[in-house]
Amino acid sequence: MQFKVTEEFTDQIQESIALRDDAQLEALLAELHFADIADIINELNLEEAVYIIKLLDTETTSEALLELDEDQRDRVLSALSPREIAGELEEMDTDDAADILNDLPDELAQEIIAEMQDEQHAEDIIELLRYDEDTAGGLMAKELVKVNENWTVTGCVSEMRAQAEYVTRVHSIYVIDNGGKLKGRLSLKDLLTSPENAPIKEVYIPKVDYVNVNTSAEEVSRIMRKYDLEAIPVVDELQRLVGRVTIDDIVDFITDEAEKDYQLASGISQDVEANDSIWELTRARLPWLILGLLGGIGAAQIMGGFEGLMKSHAILFLFTPLIAAMAGNVGVQSSAIIVQGIANDDLKGSVGKRLVKEILLAMLNGAILGILLFAYTFISKGSLATSIAISVSLFTVIIVAGFVGTFVPLFLHKRGIDPALATGPFITTSNDIFGILIYFMIARAIIGI
């Protein structure tokens, strides 16, 4: 049965900490998964959290630290000495340790590395810190199992046993030459069924998917999704095997990117969480709210230029929110589809063909909605010219909004800007303004005032 942190259980933990009853604490936490321990620590104050971290063995606490909320983890690490943090990092995979060090001040990170007893582990972490975090080099871990093509099956098995001790999960066995260059992968079945004295070069599979240390994280994600890979080897510029990216790293990356895109689409310009301070949340939200305010002022100015038209045909004013809302909705729909296609690398054909397709789709939707709106306005208001003006305006606005919603994310993507920006208030506000301007211009042209 899945464990759930209850208020009663948390009270027991806090009471044991207050009494300094270490035996009781260890008994309560002994059978729990490290992720459950992290959930408990998230509910404690800093002093209580640090007490738990210092009480339990580093094999458990190192895993729990990785599962903590970022803010809580930062607070806990700030309360530990460089030597204590070094002890925790030595139990982690190199990629996880590098991620934590990346979030710490440079001076503190250097002190922590200097405190590490395992020099090879420290060297591997230092190497990972040199890579951009959004590349294969920044995602990869150094822990893997590799064998030399010149080894025999017997020697290979012996070496694999030694290497596997330091690898949490063995997804694949990679084959290298004497220079460390990646040659292929080794099937466990082939290894077990081959003669003991057979050289690995006669057994391994030369075909293997791999990425370079400078390959973007998005491209690594795309390759692993396309070929259903649990892990992919990473090579340097000389084709030497230097690490591997595992599926859990890619899931974390995709989750982080999805959260960023969702916040951009919601009009939040920075990576924030609900528990952040009011000032941090305000800084993330205010720029887009100001944009919306300016857009509203612009729309008001446009409407002011058609004041005479609205005085003589007040019905036009009643449909202004509808036109603006439809423009925003269509623009967001179009941009959302394009952004999703870019993210999944599913967009086929040229930009021109994509724009033509979206315009044709917008024309169809606009025609259907325009006819429905014409029927409603003519039946309820009885004015043919006004009904035509409103429905034609809606038809035109939908086409323009579809074009803008398609073109803007494609343009941003070409310029290296996150296209998710186009699904937020930016596209909504711009389409609102365009929509209102088009609406009143068409109304003036048809009604003749």
Residues 328, 348: Cα–Cα separation, whole Å: 26
List, as own/partner pairs, every contact residues 412-420 make where C-beta atoms lie below 8 angstroms and the sequence separation is at least 24, other chains included.
Answer: 413/342, 418/260, 418/261, 418/264, 419/335, 419/338, 419/339, 419/342, 420/260, 420/261, 420/264, 420/265, 420/339
Q: What is the mean pLDDT of residues 333-350?
A: 73
- What pLDDT, on a 0 to 100 scale, did the predictor assign at position 162? 77
Q: Return the pLDDT at 416.
A: 73
Closest C-alpha to 319, from 377, 261, 365: 377
Residue 242's pLDDT is what? 95
| Segment 209-240, tens digit of pLDDT | 999 999 999 899 989 988 889 899 999 999 99
Euclidean distance between CA atoms 418 and 351, whole angstroms: 17
| pLDDT over 70 at 305, yes or no | yes
pLDDT at position 347: 66
| Residue 271 pLDDT level (bands cut at 50, 70, 90) | low
For residue 240, give the 3-state DSSP assignment: strand
pLDDT class of 353 with cuts at 50, 70, 90: confident
pLDDT tens for each residue of 393-408:
999 999 988 888 888 8
| b/e 203-224 (16+ beta carbons within 10 angstroms → b) | bbeeebebbbbebebbebbebb
Q: Is the pTM of this model over 0.75?
A: no
Q: Give mean pLDDT, residues 346-358.
A: 74
pLDDT in tens, 67-113: 998 888 999 999 999 999 999 999 999 999 999 999 899 999 999 99
Q: Tell me which residue has tokens 């009853």.
A: 21
How many Å apart are CA 354 and CA 350, to the nearest integer?
Answer: 6
More confident position, 373 or 275: 373
CATH of domain 278-447: 1.10.357.20
Which residue(s) pair with 233 in the sheet?
244
Domain 145-254, second-level architecture = Roll (3.10)
CA dist 94 and 117 (Å) reads 14
Please state which of the ranges 228-232, 296-300, 418-422 shows the lowest mean pLDDT: 418-422
Q: Give the Å distances, CA to CA, from 90 to 116, 251, 263.
A: 7, 23, 34
Percent of the chain with pLDDT over 90: 39
Residue 194 is predicted with a pLDDT of 85
Q: Determine the pLDDT at residue 448.
A: 66
Record the tokens describing residue 235, joined without a space.
């090579």
Instruction: Give me the pLDDT at residue 107, please.
Output: 92
Is residue 410 within 8 A of residue 354, CB to CB? The reply is: yes
Domain 7-139 has CATH 1.25.60.10: yes
> DSSP labels for 380-392?
HH--HHHHHHHHH
Contact 235, 174 (CB under 8 A): no
pLDDT at 264 over 70: no
Using CA atoms, how far apart are residues 431 and 442, in angstroms rounded to an integer?
A: 16
- At residue 57, the pLDDT reads 92
**Residue-range domain boundaries for the chain:** 7-139, 145-254, 278-447
pLDDT at 232: 94
Band (pLDDT 50/70/90 cuts) for residue 255 is confident
User: Cα angle vertex 146, ends 143, 152, to 5°?
Assistant: 155
Q: Which two tokens stand for residue 181?
A: 């260059």
pLDDT on residue 346:
67
Same fold: 7-139 with 278-447: no
**How big, in percent rounded to 5, are the helix, strand and coil portions of the chain?**
65, 10, 25
- Angle (CA) 192-193-194 rounded to 5° is 100
CB 51 within 8 A of CB 77: no
Of the ranges 79-93, 288-302, 375-389, the best mean pLDDT one: 79-93
Number of other residues whose CB lies within 10 A of the CB of residue 333: 18
